Amino acid sequence: LSRTRRSSSTMESIKCKAMVAFGVNDLREEEVIVAPPKAGEVRMKVMCNALCHTDIYTLSGQDPEGLFPSILGHEAGCVVEAVGEGVTSVKVGDHVVPGYTPQCKGSDCMFCMSPKTNLCPKIRGTQGKGVMPDGTSRFTLAKDGSTVYHFMGCSTFAEYTVLAEISIAKIDPAASLEKACLFGCGISTGLGAVWNNAKVEPFSSVAVFGLGAVGFAVVQAAKAVGASHIVGIDVNPNKFEMAKKLGCDVCYNPKDHGDEPMQQVLVKNSPTGFGFDYTFDCTGNVNVMRSALEAAHRGWGQCCLVGVAAAGKEIATRPFQFITGRRCFGTAFGGWKTRDAIPMLTDKMMKGEIAVDHFITHRFNGVGETTKAIDALHSGDCLRAVVHYC
C-alpha cells in the first residue's frame, strides 16, 4: 500500500485491495485507487468488516438502488487515516464505525432535530446514486481508471474507504473493533426496533419471525425489557437452541404445521388466545410480514417490519386487521441517531450491559476471504462472519 501524507494540502491517493461487485453475484478481488477525502469527508483504514444480509441482497440483484460496479459492505470497524477540509468531529487515529444512516445534527434539519425519527436526508440523494455528496466517486479501478460506485455511503469491502463526516460515529478506542462493528447495522437495528420503535413494555408477549442476527437481537432486547412470553419462528430448527438461551420460551418451525397459516398457529397458542402484543418481521419476506401483522393481538397488537423486501414486492392483508386494532410500522436502523447511538451502544457493550460475542460465529482474514464469509452466511448456521483486513 502506498503511504499517505496527512496534511490536507498534500494528501495522496491510496492503492489498496477491495472486493468489487461487477454485476449480480459477480464479486472479484481487485486493486482500487482511493482518492483523498474532500471537504467534509473522512478517509479510513478498514480494520474489520462484518457481513450483513443487506450486502448479499444487493449482490443478488434484488436491491432497486443496487449499482455496479460498486464496493459493498457497511458493518465495519475503522481507524481514521485522513480528514478533509472542515472536518471537526474526528481526527487521524480515531476509532470509528461507519453509519449508513447519517446524522448531520444541523439545526436546520427537521429530521435530526426531531426525536421522532433518525432519517436524516442530508446526503440521501447522492448516497442512493452511489456517489459522495459532491456527486463523484472516490474509487477507481487501478487497472483502467474506471469509476467504481459507493454503497450505502460506506463501501467497507475495501482496505480503505471514504465517508461523509456525518456518517461516522467515533467510539472508545479501547473497544474491540470486531465487536463494535456489529453496531453498524443489524444488531443495532434489532435492539432499536424493540426499544425505540415498538417500545415493548414489561410483561408483554412478543413473536419474532426470522432468527438470524437481527431476530436474535430483537429477542435479546425484548428479554432485557421484561417481556414475559417470547416466541421465535424460523424454518431452521438449528437456531432454536440459541434462541432459547437468549430469551425465547417457545420456537416454532412453520414446516411442522403443514398448510396451516403460521398466524393461526401463533394466535391459538398465544397467552390470551388473541395474538401477541408485539410482533417483529426480520425476514424481508412479504408473506411472513402478513403473518406477523395478523399474529398481532386483537385490539392493540403492534407489528414492526424490520426486514427489507425485494424490489417491487408488496404486502397484502385485509383492512379488517387494522379495523380490529392492529398497527403496523417499520424501522430503519432501529430508530437510532447514528453518531449519538453507536458510541453509547459500544459503551454499554464494554460495561457488559449488551452481550454481542455470540453473534460472531465465523472469522476470516484478508479482503479476498469475503467470498468465504458470504458462503458462511448462506450456510444457515452463521449469524455474523467478520473478515479482518489487518
Q: Which active-site residues does the annotation give?
A: 52-54, 74-75, 104, 109, 112, 120, 124, 185, 384
Alpha helices by DSSP H, 324-368: 338-350
Report whether 227 contacts 280 (CB < 8 A): no
Nearest to 185 by CA among 364, 334, 36: 334
| Owner of C-alpha cell 397484502 | 316
Nearest to 72 by CA among 80, 81, 63: 63
The Cα 233–Cα 210 span in angstroms is 6
DSSP-derived secondary structure letter, 255: G
The Cα 210–Cα 307 span in angstroms is 9
Joined together, the cell numbers standing for residue 111 give: 429530521
Q: Which residues, in sequence order, are bridge partners of residue 148? A: 139
Nearest to 32 by CA among 135, 140, 126: 140
Report whether 110 contacts 92 (CB < 8 A): no
User: Quick one: how far is CA 112 from the chain centroid?
Assistant: 20
* Orientation angle between helical segments 262-269 and 286-294, nearest 10 degrees: 30
CB atoms within 10 A of CB 252: 21
Q: Which residues, in sequence order, are bridge partners of residue 43? A: 82, 162
Return the beta strands (E) in 51-137 as ranges. Answer: 75-83, 95-98
Report whether 285 contacts 309 (CB < 8 A): yes
